[in-house]
Amino acid sequence: MYLFVWTLVTEILLLTFMAFDRYAAICHPLQYTIIMRKEVCILVAIGIWVTGMVNSAVHTGLLLQLSFCSSNVINHFFCDWPPIINLSCSDTSLSETMAFAADLVFGICSCGLTLMSYWFILRAIFQIHSTEGKKKAFSTCSSHLIIVSFYFSAVIYTYIRPTSVFTLDKDKMVSLLYTVVPPVVNPFIYSLRNKEVKEALKKLTLRGRLP
């Protein structure tokens, strides 16, 4: 569970930073290499991974202090926070409070920053006069926007709710949207934007059609 929460928060923060990267590329193209220089990217990446690590350590530490009196069978595909809290027979108020605070910071704030970035991006795109320029700008953002839509909607639905309204059977299916879909879809979405990959697919298709 420690590793899962660590990677979950880290991916949320990375997706948010990627939205800022798109904002810098489209809204400030001339200053992009200065804003997104190598040192900045390395420091941000390290900061994001350390933040995810500390956050996960706090939640896992609080869960280790809970008591589990009856069943030890988790109603989920993996050790997620909601089903484990649901099994505890001790006071979970502190763990729930810390989880809610983390959800607001990493879920709502990250989503808000991402939406803000895309608001400025859309405003900049609509100011572009050429159709080709608009298409190029949209193609830069489309892959990231698809993943963000899947990820944020599922994570916010799953975690930013009171524990009393958890429906574990439904939540198991929703969890697939942020645990399985992005890792499976990512290689296709991002690689299909690569010109070399597109050319290779065209050649492969043409070969398949030839007798």
- Gyration radius from the chain CA atoms: 21
pLDDT of residue 49: 94
Q: For 154-170, write each residue's pLDDT tens digit.
A: 777 766 666 555 566 66
How far apart are the C-alpha atoms of 211 and 208, rounded to whole Å?
A: 8
pTM for the structure as a whole: 0.77
The pLDDT of 35-60, averaged and rounded, is: 92
So where are the chain's domains? 2-179
Q: What is the mean pLDDT of the chain?
A: 79
Kindly give the interhelix angle for 168-179 and 131-159, rounded to the nearest 10 degrees: 150
Least confident segment among 32-36, 90-94, 149-153, 183-187: 183-187
For domain 2-179, the CATH superfamily is: Rhodopsin 7-helix transmembrane proteins (1.20.1070.10)
Q: Both tokens of residue 41?
A: 């990217």
